[in-house]
Amino acid sequence: MTTNIAASKTKSNLMQQSRVAAICSVIAVAFSLFEIWANSFSYLPTLKINAIHLSFLLLLCFLMYPMKCGATLFRIIDLIFAIVSVGCTLYFCFSFNALYTRGMVPIPRDYIIAGVGLVLTLEACRRAAGLILPILSIMFLLYARYGQYFPGILAHGGFSWSNIMFKMFMIDTGVFGTTLTISATYLFLFVLFSELLAKTGVGEFFNNFALALLGHRRGGPAQVAVVSSALMGTLSGSSIANVATSGSFTIPLMKSIGYSPDFAAGVEALASTGGMIMPPVMGAAAFLMVGFLGVPYATIMYAAIIPAILYYISLWFVIEMEAQRLGLKGLPKNDLPRLRQVLKQEGYLIVPVVVVVYGIVTGITVIKAAFEGMISSVLISIVGRESRMNLGRKIIDALDSGARRMVPIGLACAVAGIIVGVTGMTALGSTLAYNIIELSGGSVLLALVLILFTSLVASMGLPATACYVVVATVTAPALIRMNIPPLAAHFFVFWYGCLSGITPPVALASYTAAGIAGSIPNKTAITAFRMAVPGFLLPFLMVYRPELLGIGVTLPKLLTSTGIAVVTCLSTACCTHGYFVGKLSLWERVLMGISSLMLIKPDVWSYFGVFIILGVLLYHWYHSSASTN
């Protein structure tokens, strides 16, 4: 009897979950269709698009992330939360004009709606994106309310709760501000574009292309992981999603030729993370940078090209050293696809990427470029026989999965708007900028180190997008005040936000890769972090050598800075990995590590650093060759 009751309850719960999943799919498809219509055909004001965008996010979140699966009481509460949260956002949407005609003077009802909407947005973000960002936002709200009790320069007059709620939820300085605008436009459309493109089979093409190109080389599978993950990462914008897709193919391949599980997982985590800084699409934070700096997306894309290539060069150095140390060989050529055949049969799949890049380069809006990319993805699906099958089903699946992927990203953007709003209300950004300048004594290098540690601490619990918003809002102004170009200042913090996925103790990309590789998560995170050390130095080079970002560039300066950056990546990789044509001694590793730091600033010491590094490498190569003979 008891068994039958339990079985009946289980069956009822499964049916309930199935119904909820179907409802979520319908809402998600409607969400995607609304975004396409709103950004491509409608003339809706930005604030109304933002409000409807947040309504969909909240509705999906409370249905997709229930308080307790299978409990009817909690399902009812989730449904109430979903309905009330949508009511709050739609109230903002339809009452903003009336509020504007009142001279932005709120009535009591506005305060109630704002308070409830703010609490439900924080709760939704907690469910979808984790606890850290809502807690941080609440701390900012408390700072806005009780600023008079803070010490010294951090003190301010404080704001009433009603004033805070109104500014955070009823006008465009908080939840409905710049960060949500980016989410409702660029981010959503490019996430949807990547989902549509994935349905065409482009991921398999990237893997086959990388295998045909590099699979036969020494340690080739690791290089395949780098190339295929870089290509997929440019489209997905998510290191974790990239690891989960590319890693299921590349990690077993790397293990099969002799790489250890933690090294294979580390390579995949690093390669996937690099996709967030590799044009043309990059990570979500790149689109937020457009909003903060007020520059065309093409500027961000151009600026990222050389640093992204340098990042992958540093990873290639580590892979080559490990392959040489282990004496690995590549895969047999007979087992690999032919490059010409791959390009002939599957090369057309790259057309949507070319369409997007061409659109951005020729100056059309990023939104239009994303829309054209989506249209071309559907069109090329008709070309291929396999992708043509079930085309309608694949499009619906892409609309569904694209909207679902946006839930944690969009809610993180909405809650990050609170941090941006409070920073503007309280002048916290200017205050922290002043403190950073004071603590550093006017030293740019010390200020960069302080912001580096701030970024690393923030990245321990925040996703890359939220990490960039927080650090850019409160610390980038300090670098700009120290006469660092705004693009270089924002790239500095953007870079470390992207590296949050491989920064212990919360290294989600590394942990995801470890799950596929069957390695110990913490060991994998430490291995990935050690391999990424050259990448952690690159932002310093961007600040001191802004020509790497295309700022004030001349050909001699660009060649010099790029050459020094490559030497820095090589020497740092040798220092952390302890290998170059043979095992490096302790004094060689220390000397190369110190010399790598000397290369950061463009002064006479950087040239001494280059000579020291080249001298150590030549010395080690000569003695290794002599001992071999």
Q: How far is CA 1 from the centre of its chain?
A: 52
Q: Tell me the mean pLDDT in the region 306-315.
A: 92
pLDDT of residue 570: 92
Name the percent of the chain lying above pLDDT 90.
25
Domain ranges within the chain, ordered by starting residue? 19-179, 557-629
pLDDT of residue 545: 93
Q: Is 579 helix (H, G, I), strand (E, B) or coil?
A: strand
CA distance 526 to 308: 22
**314, 534 in Cβ contact below 8 A?**
yes
Helices (H), 499-603: 508-517, 521-531, 533-544, 555-577, 586-598
Residue 506: pLDDT over 90? no
pLDDT of residue 29: 95
Q: Is 583 helix (H, G, I), strand (E, B) or coil?
A: strand
Report residue 465 as tokens.
């997008």
Please indicate whether residue 597 or residue 455 has the higher confidence score (pLDDT). 597
pLDDT of residue 340: 85
**506, 461 in Cβ contact below 8 A?**
yes
Residues with Cβ < 8 Å from 116, sequence gap 6 or more? 84, 88
Residue 497: pLDDT over 70? yes
Q: What Rg do the C-alpha atoms of the chain give, in angstroms?
A: 26
Q: Measure the CA dihedral 131/134/136/137, to 10°.
A: 180
Q: What is the pLDDT of residues 45-73, one digit of tens each?
A: 888 999 999 999 999 999 998 886 555 65
**What is the DSSP-derived secondary structure letter of residue 584?**
P
Burial label for 302, CB within 10 Å (0-12, 13-18, 19+), is middle
CA distance 439 to 617: 38
What spatial distance separates the first Cα and last Cα of the chain, rounded to whole Å?
A: 81
Q: What is the pLDDT of residues 188-205, one digit of tens each?
A: 988 888 888 878 777 778
Query: pLDDT class for 38, splitting at 50, 70, 90?
Result: very high
CA distance 523 to 381: 42
Report residue 235 as tokens.
């489209």
Q: Tell me the mean pLDDT in the region 18-47.
A: 90
Burial label for 464, CB within 10 Å (0-12, 13-18, 19+), is buried
pLDDT of residue 379: 84
Burial label for 14, CB within 10 Å (0-12, 13-18, 19+), is exposed
Q: Is 507 helix (H, G, I), strand (E, B) or coil?
A: coil
